[in-house]
Structure 1
Amino acid sequence: MHSAINRLLRRAVVISALMVSVSAFANSDPTAPLGFTPATPSTTKKAPRLPRLQAILCDGQSQCAAILNGLSRKQGQHINGFVVSKIDDSHVELQRGGKRWTLTVFNSQLVQ
């Protein structure tokens, strides 16, 4: 009877050890190269994309509006978190967080 209890205890220990090793093995990728650590997800915010300048419309008084992402914007207005800081007949300046971007018109899409 004593040997039956010892065998039962040994089996319980072996099964417990196997369960622990299997759960540890399940937490890693067996196909990954040795020493490989998976990348952690990035927590940095992606900056909004610059709006696309489609056209600049100017009247005879040198008042200009820009078509950005299909929307008409004048100086001082906002689009996608950017402020339209300047518009002239050839380019638009945007500002965000102390930085400036200059968008230019391509293919002579200037309308006067």
Structure 2
Amino acid sequence: MIDFWFTSIAWAVHCGLRPAPKATGKHFVNLGPNPNDIKHFEEWRGELLTILAVYNFGHESSDISDVRKIIDLANRYAEVGSPLLLDRLSEYDDFALPRLYLAADVMTAVIEDGSEKYSGRVF
């Protein structure tokens, strides 16, 4: 479930969507808002969610260190990303593959396209 939730967030960001005004849990099970939930994440997930929080709240906002607000933001992104992700996955013909493999294929293609597009960028 966490993989679908996290992939839905990534898909929403990739599609340029803004988070939902409120997470309803309609398309998935919301995480949190227990701050301990994030302690069970792999470190890289927490780091990416923190980057997403900085992007949305601003680098000087105190909200970027509030785990409840970060999880709420992530739930709201998953809310808008999950229907589009399911639509994209349904475009594939090979139903013998588990959906997460299809999601990995889709995200790999997106990353490869983005790598070529942004490879010359300097920060």
TM over 0.5: no
When normalised by structure 2's length, the TM-score is: 0.18
When normalised by structure 1's length, the TM-score is: 0.19
Larger Rg: 1
Return the structure number with greater strand share: 1
